[in-house]
Amino acid sequence: MDGEDEPMVAAAMAEEPHVERLPADLLAHTLSLLPTFHDLAMAGGVSRRWRRAVGRSLATRRRLSFAGQRTGDDSTARLVRAAVNLRDLDICWGCHITDKGLLDISSAACVGNLTSVSLWGLAGITDEGVVHLVCLSLLLIFLFSSSLIFSIISNFACDVSTCQNVKRPMVCSSILSVADCHHSVEKGFGHWIAKSHRRMSSPLLLVSRARSLQHLNIGGTFITDETLYAVANSCANLKSIILWSCRHVTEAGLLALVNKCPELECINVGGMRVSQESFAGLLSISPALRIRSIPQILNADIVQVA
């Protein structure tokens, strides 16, 4: 290096902020200490290096809490997808999350490893979002598979017609017949799935997404028995569930939950429109079940129903 260049290099190093000299792992850890996700998002906009560091800091997190953060569907889903090792997800009061946000979150790699999920007090959450979060309907798998098969058959028919110089009308009618067959089978199978899904009598109708889920807080949301049926069929390891003020849930949903979740230890039923006689029926199925009635966040001390 020429002697003339040394002062310029030294000046450039002097002007470089000390934080830019940090190793990547140390920078990621430093950014993980930011108090809000808004600050984290702003940090990711500083440079490519900082954006990678933000992604690395999220990848190491085992717990995310959006309580009071006022985050929306897109930003929440983006952060959850980046947190590949997540175990505890807290999306409760203050957040502007709807079913659309849960649909986006349901495709995250961490969903299968989540042990605790809280959606406490989110008025924009209904059956649509929670069901997609905990399970995948076989109807969607069938539609994807049948569409793929139809595409392969159609392409094969076109290739055969090209090679053998078959007249165009014959090829079109062949493809049309395949399409009609595909549509008929899809419609019939879809009708059967929809009819069976309402009964939820077969465990083969759903493929579990949240297979590791142990604690679920959906108190204050607008879910119905449909959500409890999906949870019952998909979350065999469930230990506690909070249904506080879920006024559209009935005895049928609670019975399905207790019958199909052998590990279930505690249910919070405060503010629900379910009779005391129904609770007696639940205890007859699982005598050790704790039925509680005071609204609370997961793992808080509560008083048992008399």
The radius of gyration of the chain from alpha carbons, rounded to an integer in Å, stands at 26
The fold of the 1-60 domain, in CATH, is Monooxygenase (1.20.1280)
pLDDT of residue 174: 40
pLDDT in tens, the chain (306 residues): 455 555 554 555 555 566 677 788 888 888 888 777 778 778 888 888 888 888 888 998 899 988 888 889 998 998 999 999 999 999 987 889 999 999 999 999 999 999 999 999 999 999 999 999 998 754 444 444 444 444 544 554 455 444 444 444 443 344 334 444 444 444 444 444 444 444 444 434 456 889 999 999 999 999 999 999 999 999 999 999 999 999 999 999 999 999 999 999 999 999 999 988 889 899 999 999 999 985 544 444 333 333
pLDDT of residue 46: 85
- The model carries a pTM of 0.70
Element (H, E) at 254: helix 251-260
Give the Cα separation of 79 and 118 in Å (integer).
Answer: 16
CA atoms within 13 A on the CB side of 76: 28
Strand ranges inside 151-214, DSSP E: 206-208
Write down the domain spans for the chain: 1-60, 62-137+204-292, 138-200
- Identical fold at 1-60 and 62-137+204-292? no
Q: In terms of CATH architecture, what is 62-137+204-292?
A: Alpha-Beta Horseshoe (3.80)
